[in-house]
Amino acid sequence: MQRYLQLTDDESELIQVEVPQKAQVQTLNLEPLPCYAPVLMEFFTALSDALGHLSDAPNARALGFFLRARALEQAVAIRQREYLRAPRGLSFHLVPANVPMVAFHSAFASLLQGNPTIVRLSSRQLPEQQQVLETLNRLLSQARWHCIAQRIRFVRYPHSDALTAALSRQCRSRVIWGGDATIQQVRNYPISAGALEVTFADRQSLAVFDEQSLRQMPGHSVQLQLQQLAQDISQFAQQSCSSPGALVWIGTDSILRQKTFAQLSGYIESSICRGSTQLALLQKACLERRIKDYDYFGNLGWGQLNSLEQLPPRQGGTVYWQQFESMDAFFKQSINYQTCVIVGGSRESMKEQLVNAPQVMIDRIVAPGQALAFDWLWDGVDLLSVLSRMIV
């Protein structure tokens, strides 16, 4: 087995290692640890506790909660229930800047399998991401975590075909977080015939409002769900693939729909809303006949869709909506979405209907406030399983 990376001096000089501090990429130990080794589980427990103390970094704290010992133990038990697992080897991850915590979820899914892991970060230094990197550096400087520090590198480097190609040739798994153009570009750099590639392409998400259920809910419960949905829509300036861009109303009461949409608009963070951007996007979508009409409720610009098949661009506080008389009518659509936030309805009922509607491709059904909550199962891909090998 190859023990260390093979890079030219010119390639190595391009790399800035962020984690661990003062490490070199060439000294990354390519010998894997066992999947879910006790030292890995103990390290993530320590990291979870450290991240939980970052009072001014809510997304970093959420990452710490996600990594808590009990949750990790349950996730591991599920994956080990049927098969023994073994690491794949060196894993190379290319992550986006629009959702800073993705870099860590991706890296930690690999590291938990015992894989030596390289993560190429964006050139943009994002405040919360930097806080997590600093926390990692503090932990990895301790002697007890030396074997982990040897096997993880968070790096930055300018565009370099040669360097990306060299890292790709040597990896046993490559994980590319889109968009689509990034995935196509990186695929110009081949991986070995036996290596695995996992891609997360551009996706869209929606929210479904169940009129009948909303009528039966107490007013304070409706208010809470709308406030939580507003957070799902607003975070990361609407650029997350799991942030709902289409709002689907199931029912015939247009007055209740308008009232509900207006109430939701009142909870949207004004900082993401730019009237000039909304007007430009909505007018362009009208000219392209992708929406029938548009209107404004509160801070949001609302476009009425002709079809759910492909959403127009969304930013600056722009959302799109469509109304169906019944859930049956909705499930006759041929659509492909990542996440569906169910407002007022039942997640379990919707899952059951999805099973019998294969043309409706939706990977996640979540409650309001959970659209951006990461899980090891993402875009229909189980990262904890795919980044390890099954022994049968």
The model's pLDDT over 173-195, given as tens digits with 9 standing for 90+, comes to: 999 998 899 999 999 999 999 99
CA angle 106, 228, 333 (to 5 degrees): 75
81 and 94 both lie in a single domain: yes
Cα 108 to Cα 96: distance, rounded to the nearest angstrom: 16
Cα 101 to Cα 150: distance, rounded to the nearest angstrom: 22
Query: Of all residues in the chain, what percent carry a pLDDT higher than 90?
Result: 82
198 and 248 both lie in a single domain: no
For residue 1, the model assigns a pLDDT of: 67
**Domain boundary residue, one of 184, 202, 220:** 202
**Integer CA distances (angstroms), 295 to 170, 252, 261, 302, 358, in order:** 53, 19, 11, 5, 33
Residue 238 pLDDT > 90: no
Kindly state whether residue 27 falls inside one of the protein's structural domains: yes
Kindly state whether residue 3 falls inside one of the protein's structural domains: no
384: Cβ–Cβ under 8 A, 6 or more apart, which residues? 75, 76, 79, 109, 112, 113, 376
313: domain CATH number is 3.40.309.10
180 and 33 both lie in a single domain: yes
Residue 118: closest CA among 187, 9, 23, 13? 23
218: Cβ–Cβ under 8 A, 6 or more apart, which residues? none
234 and 257 both lie in a single domain: yes
178 and 212 both lie in a single domain: no
Place of tokens 């959403």: 311
Q: Look up the domain containing 20 and give its range.
A: 9-202
Kindly state whether residue 2 falls inside one of the protein's structural domains: no
Q: Choose the weakest-confidence range: 35-44, 213-222, 235-244, 289-298.
A: 235-244
308: Cβ–Cβ under 8 A, 6 or more apart, which residues? 206, 246, 248, 322, 333, 335
Kindly state whether residue 4 falls inside one of the protein's structural domains: no
On the 0-12 / 13-18 / 19+ scale of CB atoms within 10 A, 260 is buried
**Domain boundary residue, one of 160, 183, 202:** 202
142 and 212 both lie in a single domain: no
Residue 245 pLDDT > 90: yes
Number of domains in the chain: 2
Kindly state whether residue 33 falls inside one of the protein's structural domains: yes
Joined tokens for residue 136:
């990692």
> Mean pLDDT in the chain?
93
154-167 pLDDT per residue, tens: 999 999 999 999 99
Kindly state whether residue 329 falls inside one of the protein's structural domains: yes
198 and 209 both lie in a single domain: no
197 and 237 both lie in a single domain: no
Cα 98 to Cα 75: distance, rounded to the nearest angstrom: 27
117: three-class secondary structure by DSSP: strand
**Domain boundary residue, one of 155, 182, 202:** 202
For residue 328, the model assigns a pLDDT of: 92
Mean pLDDT of 256-278: 89
CA dihedral of 330, 335, 338, 344, whole degrees rounded to 10: -10
225 and 331 both lie in a single domain: yes
Residue 366 pLDDT > 90: yes
315 and 177 both lie in a single domain: no
Instruction: Tell whether pTM > 0.85.
Output: yes
CB atoms within 10 A of CB 165: 16
Mean pLDDT of 330-356: 92
Query: Of all residues in the chain, what percent carry a pLDDT higher than 70?
Result: 100
Residue 231 pLDDT > 70: yes
Residue 117: closest CA among 131, 99, 136? 136
For residue 193, the model assigns a pLDDT of: 95
Kindly state whether residue 372 falls inside one of the protein's structural domains: no
For residue 139, the model assigns a pLDDT of: 98
Give the residue, 234 or 256, on which the prediction is more confident: 256
109: domain CATH number is 3.40.605.10
41-94 pLDDT per residue, tens: 999 999 999 999 998 899 999 999 999 999 999 999 999 887 899 999 999 999
For residue 227, the model assigns a pLDDT of: 96
Q: In the beta sheet, which residues pair with residue 382? A: 377
Counting Cα atoms < 13 Å in the Cβ hemisphere of 89 gives 18
236 and 323 both lie in a single domain: yes
For residue 47, the model assigns a pLDDT of: 98
Spell 327-338 as b/e; 16+ CB within 10 A means b: beebbeeebebb
Phi, psi of 270 (to 5 degrees): -65, -20
174 and 236 both lie in a single domain: no
Kindly state whether residue 385 falls inside one of the protein's structural domains: no
